[in-house]
Amino acid sequence: MLKKTITMITFAFTIMLLAACGGESNGSSGGQLVTISGSTSVGPLAEKLAIKYEETEDVKIEINQIGSSAGITNAINGVSQIGMSSRDLKQEEIDTGIEQLVIAYDGIVVVTHPSNPVKDITMEQVKQIFTGDVTNWKQLGGKDMEIVVVSREDGSGSRDAFQEIVGYESGQLIRNAIVASGNGNIKTTVATNKHAVGFISFEYIDETVSALAINGVEAKAVNVLDGNYELSRPFLFVHEKEVPEAATKFMDFILSSDGQKIVESAGAIPVTK
């Protein structure tokens, strides 16, 4: 009886080891595993690309949307094979030897509640709103009501890019601003508050919010490509020089004509046009 029990325990332990080894090296799908983490702006696009790629390749792509800075750190430290960023790399990040790949371009759009009559503002007015120099929509030709500013959290690539382009620093953000984590939360907050204004990625634009023109230029991909729409930034994959073959092949797919068609259909702007 004792011998039989020991044999059963040994067998069960062997099965667990095999399962663990298989999961670590191959992923739950039985194929190779690609790990990606980072920007909540790049994340939805990466997921669409991953779904299509997994249809034809024996690979499992795991994507964790935790913010640009965290994703870059994960790639530098080898926690993830690929980091996603919606901002340019900082010098100290570049100095680590991390490499970057532009997979798409994106516009950042300033959004309000659909009922707000203000549809076009200048870049200087955007800065005045987010730094608190303009606090009432009446000052911009709108209704007499307080402006509620909605911004992204610290570490957000979208926030860093937005502030750099508009021309203010985190310490200048109006103190009573609502801080929301992720594009989706900003969109939901603005869509349910007639006083609100925020900024989101192009791919999140829908009928629940109103996209403002900046300096008379509409938030459209063609205007980004032409260089006329100023609120734009690259979508980056960052990675160590040497990455697993499966990760390299996925990045090659993204830059292929099929991959860039998915980029365009997702609302982002292709690298190759």
Predicted confidence (pLDDT) per residue in 50-90, tens digit: 999 999 999 999 999 999 999 999 999 999 999 999 988 99
Structure tokens at 231: 């609120």
Residue 85 forms beta bridges with which residues? 236
The number of CA neighbours under 13 Å toward the Cβ of 154 is 4
Residue 262 burial by CB count (10 A; 0-12/13-18/19+): exposed, middle or buried?
A: buried
One pLDDT digit (tens) per residue for the chain, 273 residues: 444 444 444 434 433 333 333 333 454 445 799 999 999 889 999 999 999 999 999 999 999 999 999 999 999 999 999 999 998 899 999 999 999 999 999 899 999 999 999 999 999 999 999 999 999 999 999 999 999 999 999 888 889 999 999 999 999 999 999 999 989 999 999 999 999 999 998 888 999 999 999 999 999 988 988 889 999 988 999 999 999 999 999 999 999 999 999 999 988 899 875
Convert the pLDDT of each residue in 17-43 to its tens digit.
333 333 334 544 457 999 999 998 899
CA distance 104 to 38: 15
Cβ(174)–Cβ(131) under 8 Å?
Answer: yes
pTM for this prediction: 0.71
